[in-house]
Structure 1
């Protein structure tokens, strides 16, 4: 089956999503830009292009027409909900369209109209103000996946860059809550999902996982905390028992230099900053947020809505381009494996 386009959501329209989508499309021809279509309000896209001084050709299309239009016009699948164009000033009035774009993009991927989902950043507050009841983007995608699959779905965050793939076991919780939140089962589930998706979607036949310890020096045999011996080590032993190439707990301060990174395919980290700091320090503009564990491919730029620069013409599409390219590679890896 020939490749299908990627479905790109607009994100919060008051952020930089519209302009980096435009900028990514404008680089086609001179850079590797996979074919995509944008789920958005065409009038807003046209208005934002005008604000930035771009002459932009837009083709309002159905998903099946995206490949034919991509070379000469930015393909846009029109949303039913219109947007107000207020760069830098988020508005709850745009929430319905923001959510609609996500729902329709997921539906397109599940129906086979697109090979993968790429999402531009959203802001939580305007969604909450409009009654959105999910903690964030990933949790909403998990809900949509569960509706489609009819079973529980566990989304797992991965930060994937050219030099490091990092997966945090716990994510958006206070550091003080991490020790009591870690369990053997949570680490095993997170690492097993990571290994499965590295095989299926990254084409790595036998993924190698490096599992970080929680405490300095991975606890130093219990001298600096008991969690590594009581929780992390048994989790690694269970992973090995399941046939997964995992080792740890490893001291996190020696896991991320070049020689160490060459020995594994993904780092399983115990908390948010343990994994995201090295990932972003190594390749801030090229790192991609990937959601593992979903029944479809989802990538996203590793930055926020950037309301402070929206509409000023200075937003760079580098991370979005990286997200589009990675989604294309993941889709191709899955296709070649079937």
Structure 2
């Protein structure tokens, strides 16, 4: 792209650390050489975060109501403020339906901009799922919100930390329900989606490792039958159409094999199976990337951290990495 892409940063729950990690990230001049970042959120929350991190002599917040008002210049944090939150009505670290409502409205606005092509990418700060539920929203995860907003049929969340990349069969499901979701059709769908996106990102034939669900990949059926009846048939069908995929590989092995470059990406069967290896490997730099949406969306890989909100203690590296990944995908059509 000849022009720097517009990148929206949704501020997340205003009672959490989203505004702080956003401000800390935008103190890095290099961000502005690669994109035109702006915040979809609350200008008073951003101004508060600027004070908290001690950056009042470096940056200022700038309230905008349209994209043509965005300067995209270092030293100015442009905030697309929808006037949907009185920042004085909430407190750092306190669960609030008011905050939950505002955070979802910011997500939907950013999604609207991205779906229309007005902006090129979205990087999201963390929301609080309980606060969103209190506000009456049933879709309490970013991916689910964007999926319903855009009517996207097949989506997936991929976490990445350096060379470890993990696509998830499911994310926000209870473990009991997640196990029921391990079917041949669902596993095959995620294999196909993963292969499609990695080819878009420059891999000629991405090497995909599919994790088993049960310990030891079920030990020949002694510890369950999902491997034989669901996962293996999906893998074999994918192989039959030319996809380089192996599995089911025991979950205590497949992620280390990815780190050792035997795979380019893994597919985990449920949330914690994929999140744990990523966060043990390099939590600070871990990033979430959505597959299957009609626009680029990345995210930090941490929560709202109510216990340290408003204290200036939050680590912003994941937000910086999220922006780097989003810009790389938009500008160069590849992962960094």
TM-score, normalization by structure 1: 0.90
How big is the shift at 1:157? 1.1
The offset of 1:3, in angstroms, is: 2.9
Return 5+ residue gaps in structure 1 as ranges. 147-151
Range that drifts further, 181-190 or 170-179 = 170-179
- Per the alignment, do residues 54 and 293 of structure 1 end up closer, same or farther by CA in structure 2, a change over 3 Å counting? same
Residues 6, 114 of structure 1: 8 Å contact kept? yes
Question: 1:157 — aligned with what?
Answer: 157
Aligned position for 2:62: 59
Q: Which residue of 1 aligns with 2:9?
A: 8
Give the Cα separation in 2 of the matches to 1:30 and 1:185: 41
Distance (Å, rounded) in 2 between the aligned partners of 1:316 and 1:90: 21
In the TM superposition, what are the counterparts of 1:1-338 in structure 2 within 5 Å?
1=1, 2-29=3-30, 34-55=35-56, 56-61=59-64, 62-66=66-70, 68-85=71-88, 86-146=91-151, 152-200=152-200, 202-257=201-256, 261-334=260-333
CA distance in 2, matches of 1:315, 1:261: 31
TM-superposed deviation, 1:41: 1.7
For the residues of structure 1 that align with 2:37 and 2:82, how far apart are their CA atoms?
Answer: 16
Tell me by how many angstroms 1:228 deviates: 1.0
**Equivalent-residue separation in structure 1 for 2:111 and 2:31 (angstroms):** 29
- Alpha carbons 1:15, 1:90 under 8 Å: kept: no
Q: Secondary structure at the match of 1:39?
A: strand
Residue 100 of structure 1: how far off its partner (Å): 2.1
Q: Is the 8 A contact 1:203 1:333 kept in 2?
A: no
CA distance in 2, matches of 1:4, 1:87: 32
CA contact (8 A) 2:284 2:317 kept: yes
Q: Is the 8 A contact 1:286 1:319 kept in 2?
A: yes
User: Cα deviation per residue 1:218-273 (whole Å; 9 max; x = unaligned)?
Assistant: 22332332221111110001111232211111122222336764021110122222
Residues in 2 aligned to 1:159 and 1:273: alpha-carbon distance in whole angstroms: 11
Distance (whole Å) between structure 2 residues aligned to residue 266 and residue 34 of structure 1: 27
Q: Give SS of 2:255's match.
A: coil
How far residue 94 of structure 1 moved from its aligned partner, in angstroms, is 2.7
Q: Tell me, which stretches of 5 or more residues in structure 2 are unaligned?
A: none
CA contact (8 A) 2:37 2:72 kept: no
SS of residue paired to 1:224: coil
- CA-CA distance at 1:314 after TM superposition: 0.6
Query: Number of aligned pairs?
Result: 329
